[in-house]
Amino acid sequence: MSIILKIDKDNSCDEEAPRIIFLCADPLYHGYGHISRCGTLQKYLQDTGRTSQLITGNLSFTAPAEIDSGSYLIILDARDIPFPEWAFQKNITRIAFDNRGPGRSQADYVFDLLPHFAMNDSEFSNSLRNIILPYFYKMHKNKVSKSSLQLVRQTDASRTRRKIYSSAMHPYRMSSISVMQKIQAVRQVQLYFGQTLFEALFLGADVKLYSISEIHYKLAQDFFRRWRGLPTPQLYFDGSGAARMAQAIMDISTGAGLQSGF
């Protein structure tokens, strides 16, 4: 399956600036977290007058017809896969998000936007600052200090895995705003490690953290341990990740170089 979305340019910008293309994991196979945060970055870039394009795919991505002309900034947000072959032309700069596979060494720039068990403590803290929340979260107060987190052990998680998988395959998908409203309306949220976990923590929710695979359990276990060790997690996870990441993309695009903190 391949979906191409384009956000039109509302304001004029430098015609010589590289075109920005997001290569995003297919939500049918990898959940909606990837496409959600890429869509958020598109909106922040649109605020600056920059057009961008979003292409989804499972293991491969269709090259834009005009890729041979002009310059491009290709952003891969699709877990641990390599960049497609067409992304290695001289006119292309490559950025990878959260990639622990071949794409990490292939990228010109790598950004870790979610915590990972392979990180050292400094990298872990910095990843919390980079977490991308939906666009409208910038209008909401940071309530991380009011949140709580409980880790469900692997033996318990295995008994609920089938139920969680069944829920994940349900054809109905709530909008990001509906998800936020549901989180705010309930006493406790039961989640696995992913984008919605951090949305819930930012909203001050009581979160019960389950696992749906061995890798999710390793991520959850490591995150739980380090999160509990932070004296003031809200100082690290401050909700500024989307704006910071959009600015970093702009800096790379214009050749201004990255600011401190990345």
In this structure, is residue 151 part of a structural domain? yes
In this structure, is residue 51 part of a structural domain? yes
**Residue 106 CB neighbours (<10 A):** 16
Q: Do 227 and 250 sit in the same domain of this protein? A: no
Could you give the CA distance from residue 204 to residue 141 in angstroms, rounded to a whole number?
A: 10
- The total domain count for the chain is 2
Please give the model's pTM, rounded to 2 decimal places: 0.85
In this structure, is residue 260 part of a structural domain? no
What pLDDT digit, counting tens, does each position of 202-251 carry?
999 999 999 888 888 999 999 999 999 999 999 999 999 999 999 999 99
Per the structure, the complete domain to which residue 57 belongs is given by 3-131+240-254
Q: Do 36 and 59 sit in the same domain of this protein? A: yes
Mean pLDDT of 51-56: 92
Q: Do 68 and 117 sit in the same domain of this protein? A: yes
What pLDDT digit, counting tens, does each position of 171-214 carry?
556 788 888 889 999 889 999 999 999 999 999 999 999 988 88
Could you give the CA distance from residue 50 to residue 149 in angstroms, rounded to a whole number?
A: 38
State the CATH number of the domain containing residue 114: 3.40.50
